[in-house]
Amino acid sequence: MKITRLLIIFMILYFTKTMGQNAQLVKPDYGIIEKEINDTSSRYDYSKLMERFQKGDSTFTIEEKRHLYYGFIFQNNYSPYKRSEYADSIRIIRQKQDLNEEDYRKLLNYSNKILEDDPFNTSVISNKLTAYKKLKNEKDFRTTLSQFMTVIEAILSSGNGATKEMAFYVIAVPHEYAVLNVLGFKYAGKQSLVEHYDYLEVEENEYKINGLYFDITPSLNSLNSKKAD
C-alpha cells in the first residue's frame, strides 16, 4: 500500500510552497529543541504541538513541525525499534489480494492502535491514507495527509541526503524509506551503516543519484541505552 504517484507530486508541490520563503536546510539542534518543547509558555510546548498534530492541523510553521518531529525523541514512548503487537494483524490484511470494506476498517483500527505510541509511523499513516481513500472518507483522508506531510516536511528541512554533511535527519529507520518514496526514488536493496549514518542505495534515476544519507543518531542512542540497561 504505497503512496500513489499523484500524492507524491502533491506533497512535493506542497512542500515547495510552504518552504518557499525559507528554504534553508537546517540540522536539528536536539539540545535547543528539548529545552523549548519543555517550556509550557513556549509555542513549541510539546503537548500543544502533539494536540494540533492529532487534529491534522495544516497551519504548522516549519519550525513547529521540526520541534514536533524531533522533539518526540524526548518523550517516554519513543522506542524506534519496538514492534507493535498489531503489526502482524496489519501484515495479514495487506497480504490479501482483494480487500473489502471490513478489511479497511480493521486496518484503520489496528493502525490507530499503533499510532497511539508511535504517532509518526509513516508506514502506518500510509495505510490509513489508503483505507480512507478506499472508504471515500475525504475528511479523515485530509487530516491524515496533513499528518503525513508534517513528518516528511520536517525531515526534508534537515538536509538533502547527498552527503553525510547534508544527511536527512530521521528519528526512526523506517522514515528513510518514506522519504525515498516521496522523492520518487526506488530502494536498490543495499543499506550501509557508516558511523551514525544510514546510506541507502537507490536504483538508476534521471538525477544520477546513487544513494542518500540519513543521520540516525537518536535511534542508535536509544538502542545503546537499552543495551546498557
- What is the tens place of the pLDDT at every residue in 66-115? 999 999 999 999 999 999 999 999 999 999 999 999 999 999 999 999 99
3-state secondary structure 105-127: HHHHHHHHHHHHHCCCCHHHHHH
How many of the other CB atoms lie within 10 Å of CB of 224?
9
Read off the pLDDT of residues 22-58 as tens digits, 9 standing for 90 and up: 457 999 999 999 999 999 999 999 999 999 999 999 9
Calpha distance 109→228 (Å, rounded):
35
Instruction: Spell out the domain ranges in the chain.
Output: 5-228
State how far the alpha carbon of 228 is from the alpha carbons of 104, 221, 222, in Å.
Answer: 41, 10, 10
